């Protein structure tokens, strides 16, 4: 009797739900992120995404001819937006808060999915996601770091020479390196050390 009830419930849950247009596309993109978060890049299949979204396989393939195309769109649609720099009154606190926001983005469901892709797929496939990483993660972070540094220069807190692309790259480069190459996480103490031991000494204006 238990087996019969479970089978009936499973059949109902597997029945495609009638949705169209943006609503269906959103459900498929969400399902792709769920699949990446649970089974990873190698385990993700178009069939599995269709089942998770409760739609037909043809509805997925009609919009995305490959799983690479699907995952690119899912990541672009889902990654949290970093669109404002913290303004807490000093460059140290601003940079630390910005690091926390970047960490939250990295540990969000889309961020976890992106890391799954980077860790598992081969070099050729990873090239497909280059734009997602640069436009969705790196460039917004660099722009906000630049804003914080230039604000610090205007306050007389930061040396003018710190307005440099190499300086802006340090935080995202370190965070991506620790995540992708080392496979380790960023705790609060790690973020504080990055700011206090690397960034603040680098950008601080020295008073004679």
User: pLDDT-based confidence at 18, cuts 50/70/90?
Assistant: low
**Is 1's pLDDT higher than 90?**
no
Query: For 80-203, CATH number?
Result: 1.10.357.10
The residue among 129 and 51 whose pLDDT is bigger is 51
Q: What is the mean pLDDT of residues 77-93?
A: 91
Query: For 14-77, CATH number?
Result: 1.10.10.60
**Is 115's pLDDT higher than 90?**
no
Is residue 144 within 8 Å of 98, Cβ to Cβ?
yes
Question: d(Cα 185, Cα 208) in Å, to the nearest integer?
Answer: 39
Residue 184 makes CB contacts below 8 A (sequence gap 6+) with 178
Domain(s) labelled CATH 1.10.357.10 in the chain stretch across: 80-203
Which pTM does this prediction carry? 0.77
Q: Residue written as tokens 């385990």? A: 43
Domain(s) labelled CATH 1.10.10.60 in the chain stretch across: 14-77
């Amino acid at each position: 009797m238990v087996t019969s009830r479970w089978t009936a419930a499973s059949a109902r849950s597997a029945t495609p739900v009638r949705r169209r247009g943006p609503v269906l596309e959103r459900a498929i993109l969400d399902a792709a992120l769920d699949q990446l978060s649970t089974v990873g890049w190698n385990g993700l299949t178009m069939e599995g995404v269709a089942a998770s979204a409760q739609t037909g396989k043809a509805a997925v393939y009609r919009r995305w001819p490959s799983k690479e195309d699907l995952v690119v769109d899912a990541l672009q649609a889902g990654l949290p937006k970093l669109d404002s720099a913290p303004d807490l009154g000093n460059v140290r606190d601003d940079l630390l808060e910005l690091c926390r926001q970047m960490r939250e983005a990295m540990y969000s469901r889309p961020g976890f999915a992106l890391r799954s892709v980077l860790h598992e797929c081969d070099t050729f496939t990873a090239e497909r996601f280059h734009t997602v990483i640069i436009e969705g993660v790196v460039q917004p972070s660099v722009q906000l770091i630049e804003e914080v540094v230039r604000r610090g220069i205007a306050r007389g807190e930061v040396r003018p020479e710190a307005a440099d692309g190499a300086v802006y790259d340090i935080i995202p480069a370190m965070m991506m390196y620790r995540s992708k190459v080392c496979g380790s996480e960023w705790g609060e103490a790690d973020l504080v050390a990055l700011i206090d031991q690397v960034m603040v000494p680098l950008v601080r204006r020295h008073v004679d």
